[in-house]
Amino acid sequence: MHLTPAGFPSAIPGIGDEIDNAMQHAPQPKRQSILLSNDVGNKNTKIFLKQLPVPLHLCTIEPLCLLYILCNFVKTDLMRIDILTVLPDLLESPLNHSIVKRAKEKGLVEINIINLRDFTNDKYKSVDDYAFGGGAGMVMMIEPVYKAITKLKSERDYDEIIYTSPDGERFNQKMANQLSLKNNILILAGHYKGIDQRIRDHLITREISIGDYVLSGGELPAAIITDAIIRLIPGAISDEQSALSDSFQDDLLAPPVYTRPSDFNGWQVPPVLLSGHAAEIDKWRHEQAEERTERLRPDLLNGKKIL
């Protein structure tokens, strides 16, 4: 069973969304985390409940206990992300470094890059053809994509078959949270003018855009979506709180961060961060997050005036 970013078993209907909403709406300074370490099988699975409102309401305690007990007895499934592409090399580097690499090494996720040309019939391994009706640009052919997706679907059930496309839903953190709850995801990276529409109509379950601009292919969007998902898997980041306190998790931008030295050429770190006073630091960070959000991304506040 796969665990949600909050460490809950996602297979329990509604859990992921409920938890996600609860966390999205809990005000930042009124949150605390409970970190529960738990050995499941050979994996040291960290089960953590993120950003709970404090004081804990009694109504949250019972389901949480139940979930904790469940988590103790279920083995976490490996998340699997398959990416279908005509340019596998383009995905090698982005998915073989940093947090994504470590998540793979820790056995939290398996990423398979599948070459669409392996599903062609002709000696040139063609995957594109002229567009019906004429016009500039080639179109990704239906047959290789159909063959590849049909074969992959025969091997496992996909929670989502995603096509990356400029006209898809705009990718955001909430979507990354939702996708990180899934067990099996297939991402089809488009090329040329795009894929034959019939693939989109009959085989794709979700279409995602990474922004209002056009790239040459879907490999970078696929890598971006994959990275955003993987960093949310419990254990992918050594300090779980780090992913949870990032921008957008709670409709706020992250506060500024500093490290040593505290004085660089007279550029000072805000004194509160050196005070050692945890409550004051939390308060300052929250105020900074609110101020930055109001100034830089007021759209995230949905018209709420917070300052």
Residues that bind ligand SAM (CB under 6 A): 164-167, 189-191, 193-194, 209-211, 213-218, 221
Can you list the alpha helix ranges (DSSP code H) found in 108-236? Answer: 142-155, 173-179, 197-202, 219-230
Closest CB to ligand SAM among residues 59, 136: 136
CA pair distance 270, 243, nearest whole angstrom: 23
Structure tokens at 239: 């300090």
- With b for 16 or more beta-carbon neighbours within 10 A and e for fewer, the 99-119 pattern comes to bbeebbeeebbebebbbbbeb
Least distance in Å: CB of 96 to ligand SAM? 21
Closest CB to ligand SAM among residues 198, 304: 198
Least distance in Å: CB of 169 to ligand SAM? 10
CA pair distance 6, 33, nearest whole angstrom: 10
Least distance in Å: CB of 173 to ligand SAM? 16
Closest CB to ligand SAM among residues 169, 280: 169
Closest CB to ligand SAM among residues 111, 210: 210
CA pair distance 235, 213, nearest whole angstrom: 33
Least distance in Å: CB of 33 to ligand SAM? 33
Beta carbons within 8 Å of 294's beta carbon, 6+ residues apart:
301, 305, 306, 307
Closest CB to ligand SAM among residues 52, 189: 189
CA pair distance 83, 59, nearest whole angstrom: 41
CA pair distance 163, 84, nearest whole angstrom: 10
Least distance in Å: CB of 72 to ligand SAM? 40
Closest CB to ligand SAM among residues 71, 145: 145
Least distance in Å: CB of 236 to ligand SAM? 23
Closest-approach residue to ligand SAM (CB): 190
Least distance in Å: CB of 211 to ligand SAM? 5
Q: Give the H or E element holding residue 70.
A: helix 58-73
Closest CB to ligand SAM among residues 47, 210: 210
Q: Give the sign of the dihedral formed by CA 226, CA 231, CA 234, CA 235.
A: positive
